[in-house]
Amino acid sequence: MSGWIFVAEAAAIKPGHYETVDLDDSIAAVFNVNGEFYAIEDICTHDGTVLTSGQPIEGDEIVCPRHGARFCVRTGEALSAPAYEPTATFPVKIEDGKVYVRDNRWD
């Protein structure tokens, strides 16, 4: 079981922005969508490209910089070709104004 990993001060991730953090064997991207925080694995399921490259999110969607697949940052769902499989989601918690994420896939 992976523990909670500190991401950033919540106030440092403005709405529409995100921060990435190394987990044990993957990278999480943590998004602020209108004040709510969500985390997905920072990997496009089409061909393994890192999803975040500094581009802004569009509502609750991020567009893969390589071939343009869209993913929901709240659910990890692949919303458009050429990606069809969802990317993983991770639990997020806010404690004392700090954002934490953890990889619960191996619990």
Nearest distance in Å: CB 105, ligand FES: 21
Q: Please count the residues of the chain.
A: 107
C-alpha to C-alpha distance for 69 and 82, rounded to whole angstroms: 6
Give CA–CA dist 43/60, Å, rounded. 16
7 binds ligand FES (CB under 6 A): no
Among 69, 73, 92, 101, binds ligand FES (CB under 6 A): 69
Q: Which stretch binds ligand FES (CB under 6 A): 20-28, 53-61, 66-74, 86-94?
A: 66-74
CA-closest candidate to residue 104, choices 18, 2, 7: 2
Residues near ligand FES (CB under 6 A):
44, 46-47, 49, 64, 66-69, 82-83
